[in-house]
Amino acid sequence: MRALAAWVAGMGILSIGSACRHAEVSKPQGDASAAAYYPLAVGNQWVYQSSLLGERKEQTVEVLREENGYYLDSQGGELAADGFGIRDRKRYLLREPLEPGKSWTNVVSVSSVEHYRILDITPCQVPAGRFESCVRVESRNRIDAKTSLVNELTFARGVGIARLDVFAEVDGRRIPQTSLLLHSYRVQVPTSRP
């Protein structure tokens, strides 16, 4: 498997929010920058329980180094935080302002356009614990006339990606493909915002 960021990006942005508890929608509290929802620093590490077509295993993602403004991880992912949000080399995974309904589009190739939307900001629960301020993002990429790849990402403030769920949506019906749930993490929050 590729790095979480690369894998998520390569899949068209997986989903992380469905298992999060849906509470009343609110605005982020405290630092409302996208960078606060995905702390990037060398040594940060996230351990996920993954479920791919029923097979369960553990996946560890660790930031190994910073190179030209991008943080490279153990799975081949390359992420950066800038004044607009959190991005890899082709797309924004999370874009400011962090408000329910905010949407953006990423053109990742001549034949691939991804549509993103912030669904809500709510508490979420995963094996690593309960997080009070989580931004849930949906990404859609049309595969053909009947099928879309739908990813839901849940970003927990001060933690990073807490959950990722991937669905194939065929004729409007969602079919679960894979999910990642945060099991444990070790992060340092950067001292300055990009």
For the stretch 89-136, pLDDT in tens is 999 999 999 999 999 999 988 889 999 999 999 999 999 999 999 999
Q: Is the pLDDT of residue 20 over 50?
A: no
Percentage above 70 pLDDT, the chain: 81
**Token representation of residue 14:** 């997986």
H helices, E strands: number in the chain: 1, 12
Sheet holding 103-109, edge to edge: 92-95, 85-87, 78-81, 70-73, 55-67, 45-52, 173-186, 160-170, 147-156, 129-142, 112-126, 103-109
Give percent of the chain above pLDDT 90. 73
> What's the confidence (pLDDT) of residue 15?
30
According to CATH, the topology of domain 4-186 is YmcC-like fold (2.40.360)
- In this predicted model, what pLDDT tens digit does every residue of 59-70 receive, in sequence order? 999 999 999 999
Contacts 24+ apart (CB under 8 A), 61-68: 61/3, 61/4, 61/5, 66/42
Tell me how far apart the alpha carbons of residues 104 and 97 are, in angstroms, rounded to a whole number. Answer: 11
Q: What are the backbone dihedrals phi and psi of residue 49, each rounded to the nearest 5 degrees, phi first?
A: -95, 120
**CA distance readout (Å), 159 to 101, 124, 146, 187:** 23, 12, 36, 7
Find how far residue 116's CA is from the centre of its chain: 11
| Maximum separation of any 2 CA atoms in the chain, in Å | 46
Q: What are phi and psi of 102, to 5 degrees?
A: -60, 135
* Rounded Cα–Cα distance for residues 2 and 130 (Å): 27
pLDDT (0 to 100) of residue 156: 98
| Domain layout of the chain by residue ranges | 4-186
- DSSP-derived letter for residue 28 is P
